[in-house]
Amino acid sequence: MKLSTDRILTTHTGSMPRGEPLSSMLIEQEEGKRVDLKKLDDVTDDRVAYIIKKQIEVGIDIANDGEQGRVGFQTYVPQRWSGFGGKSSRPFGREFVDFPKFTERMQARIPKTGRVFDAPEAIDEVHYHGTAQLQKEIDRIKRQAGSAAANVSNWFMNAPSPGIIASTMLNAYYDTDEAYLDAIAKEIAQEYKAVVDAGYILQVDAPDLAMERVLLYQDLTDEEFVEQTQKHVNALNKALENIPRESVRLHVCWGNWEGPHCYDVEMEVLLPIVYQAKVGAIGLEFANPRHQHETTALKANRPPEDMAIIPGVIDSKSNFVEHPQVVANRILAVVDAVGDRERVIAGVDCGFGTFTGWEWVAEDVVWAKLKSLREGAAIASKQLWG
């Protein structure tokens, strides 16, 4: 994993808008409708080439394929595993109940999306069969990047944490949730290892470590949630057992929707547990209005010396394009909190296309935001390195 040794490097969280016709094709495939697989591959190839080109144009140092061939950052799992079926009954967050007019507006804004709250559940032993699909993604990045790869410091690929799989594809088979977590960890380890063996940085997406406090575990106290989070971190570490920590970064977030977020768990509650993950970097939200202030929590709970921080300094839910100086100020605040300029890589709060059709930011604004990220990182770098 490249660190910011002479300037602040830039990255993002992974998912990008998929555009049409890819979005519709992915949703139809998830719904079990007949899809021309050759056309789907061709459209995905073209879209990945475009996403890579745009990342290089705006100056992203650590890039990926935008997760273009996946219907959702974790809901693609049932398409590559056996043991899933039916429908999970996920609880709605408290804010969706307390703010019904907001919920009505939110549902109107995302009329066509993948299965978010009604993903399949585990109805049998779960087993991973996604080797061929993953290899296709790996080969596609190498093919579409071509000579442009020289302009990128690192390439990363995304995979979900055991905890977010267990939290969204609920357990209807295993005797205990711990047994389900263990089974997931064993199987997802295959995907983790394949990504790293291919030469990519593995990004594990783990919103379960924060977001699920207001969803599946909304009835728990903070102390009880910490206990549950510990189980999720333990399962993650089992899945990462044979992978060098410097090859892994972990994304933690509070849920990628534009909403009140007034019941989010405080960062200071999470950091001691999250730091136990066997990873080389952790991505955290610092750009949106609900979590900008939590650099104070980071300063009071600094990461271990062998762990970098990827602060979100761009909001993934707002169409405001952050001024480069605002971006620089956010980067500098995190550098001050961490106490080490080299262990800070500028990023985005969350993905711009977490699920197909679930996009808050218009695609042309996405690229303007990422350009501002690069410009803000340059301002911060000048102040930090001269």
Residue with tokens 């559940």: 121
Q: Could you tell me if 151 and 56 are in contact, meaning their C-beta atoms sit under 8 angstroms apart? A: yes
CA–CA separation, 334 and 294 (whole Å): 9
CA–CA separation, 48 and 57 (whole Å): 14
Task: Quote the pLDDT of residue 29.
Answer: 92
Alpha helices in the chain (DSSP H): 22-30, 37-58, 94-98, 100-109, 131-145, 162-168, 177-197, 222-239, 267-274, 295-300, 324-338, 363-385
CA–CA separation, 380 and 225 (whole Å): 36
| Cα end-to-end distance, the chain, whole Å | 24
Q: Does residue 94 lie within any of the structural domains?
A: yes
CA–CA separation, 283 and 261 (whole Å): 18
CA–CA separation, 159 and 203 (whole Å): 6
Structure tokens at 271: 């950091």
Domain that holds residue 148: 22-385
When divided into structural domains, the chain yields a total of 1
3-state secondary structure of 72: strand
Q: Could you tell me if 203 and 158 are in contact, meaning their C-beta atoms sit under 8 angstroms apart? A: yes
Using the Cα atoms of residue 297, residue 167, residue 203 and residue 37 in order, give the sign of their dihedral: negative
CA–CA separation, 2 and 155 (whole Å): 10
Q: Does residue 7 lie within any of the structural domains?
A: no
Q: Does residue 8 lie within any of the structural domains?
A: no
Other Cβ atoms closer than 10 A to 37: 10
Q: Does residue 40 lie within any of the structural domains?
A: yes
Q: Does residue 11 lie within any of the structural domains?
A: no
CA–CA separation, 283 and 248 (whole Å): 11
Q: What is the CATH number of the domain that holds 325?
A: 3.20.20.210
Q: Does residue 245 lie within any of the structural domains?
A: yes
Task: Quote the pLDDT of residue 111.
Answer: 67
Q: Does residue 372 lie within any of the structural domains?
A: yes
CA–CA separation, 157 and 97 (whole Å): 35
Task: Quote the pLDDT of residue 117.
Answer: 81
CA–CA separation, 13 and 153 (whole Å): 16
Identify which of 64, 100, 17 has the alpha carbon closest to the alpha carbon of residue 249: 64
* Per-residue model confidence as pLDDT tens digits over 226-255: 999 999 999 999 999 999 999 999 999 999
Task: Tell me the DSSP string of 106-153.
Answer: HHHH-SS---SSS--EEEEEEEE--HHHHHHHHHHHHHHHGGGGGG-S
Q: Which residues of the chain have pLDDT under 50?
A: none
* Per-residue model confidence as pLDDT tens digits over 138-165: 999 999 888 777 789 899 999 999 999 9
Q: Does residue 70 lie within any of the structural domains?
A: yes
